[in-house]
């Protein structure tokens, strides 16, 4: 992937529970809440931040999913000692579109491009095919460096909606669905183990050729027509993927 531009996109307002989760992440990141410290109760947090207990519960659920807090026998909920990572566990396409709620994708539209031979091979598309390219970094409170670099390709038939896409915690395809009235039909996903390139390493703040996961996704609408493609590179220590398979 090429160098990712500095964040310039406009962000949409967050739900209150996401704002609270961000404040608590900042407290953990800045050392106000240290590993092993007990997390205040729902009642205490609701009173301190003047929010409902439901808002507190949802914020704590975000922190739990991020690996920042955990239940400890005999101690209640405590701040975890492990470095926070982006954890993904998908049961369906709805979960896939919602996974990014605890992070922000800062985007930069790069215009209508033609797929190069190397990119076309990676995406399994015809060389020279035209797509709207959007490049960005995914950032998460509690981490000093991006957790992913992503290129996204939007089909030209949705070109009028590309200028309305925003840097946000909402997935691009979810935004596109709202703007264009799309219904997701299926998502094809491929996960590859790769070595980080020199250009990507400089942005992700990891050593060159360090291990990473590259996730390729093809998003299809309800009619089975390809609408979006994406390629994300995640440093290994900042990403966890889980899947449950019932027997």
User: Cα-Cα-Cα-Cα dihedral of 120, 124, 130, 133, to 10°?
Assistant: -80
Inter-CA distances, 47 with 17, 76, 93, 189, Å: 14, 19, 36, 43
- Please tell me whether residue 234 adopts helix, strand or coil conformation: strand
Q: What pLDDT score does 130 carry?
A: 98
Model pLDDT for residues 24-41, shown as the tens digit of each residue: 887 887 778 888 889 999
pLDDT tens digits along 162-220: 999 999 888 888 899 999 999 888 889 999 999 999 989 999 988 999 999 999 999 99
Residue 112, beta-bridge partner list: 132
Dump pLDDT digits (tens) for 14-27: 688 888 988 888 78
When comparing pLDDT for 222 and 29, which is higher?
222
**What domains sit in the chain, N to C, each tagged with a CATH number?**
16-79 (1.10.10.10), 86-242 (3.40.1410.10)
Asked if residue 9 has pLDDT above 70, the reply is: no
- Chain centroid to Cα 161, Å, comes to 21
What pLDDT band is residue 3 in, cutting at 50, 70 and 90? very low
Instruction: Tell me whether residue 129 is exposed, middle or buried, using C-beta atoms within 10 angstroms of its C-beta: 0 to 12, 13 to 18, 19 or more.
Output: middle
> Which segment of 78-82, 206-210, 220-224, 243-247 scores lowest on mean pLDDT?
243-247
pTM of this structure: 0.66
The pLDDT of residue 236 is above 90: no
């Amino acid at each position: 992937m090429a160098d990712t531009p500095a964040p310039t996109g406009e962000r949409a307002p967050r739900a209150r529970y996401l704002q609270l989760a961000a404040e608590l992440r900042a407290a953990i990141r800045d050392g106000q809440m240290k590993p092993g410290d007990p997390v205040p109760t729902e009642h205490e947090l609701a009173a301190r931040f003047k929010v409902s207990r439901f808002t507190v519960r949802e914020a704590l659920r975000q922190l739990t999913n991020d690996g920042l807090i955990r239940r400890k026998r005999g101690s209640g909920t405590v701040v975890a000692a492990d470095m926070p990572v982006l954890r993904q566990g998908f049961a369906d396409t709805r979960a896939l579109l919602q996974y990014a709620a605890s992070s922000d994708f800062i985007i930069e539209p790069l215009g209508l491009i033609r797929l190069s031979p190397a990119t076309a091979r990676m995406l399994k598309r015809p060389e020279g095919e035209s797509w709207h390219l959007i490049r960005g970094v995914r950032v998460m409170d509690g981490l000093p460096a991006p957790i992913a670099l992503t290129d996204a390709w939007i089909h030209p038939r949705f070109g009028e909606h590309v200028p309305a896409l925003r840097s946000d915690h909402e997935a691009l395809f979810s935004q596109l669905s709202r703007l264009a009235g799309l219904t997701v039909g299926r998502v094809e996903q491929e996960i590859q183990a790769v070595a980080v390139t020199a250009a990507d390493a400089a942005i992700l703040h990891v050593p060159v050729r360090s291990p990473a996961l590259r996730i390729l996704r093809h998003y299809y609408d309800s009619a089975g027509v390809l609408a979006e493609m994406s390629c994300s590179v995640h440093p290994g220590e900042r990403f966890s993927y889980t899947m449950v398979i019932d027997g």
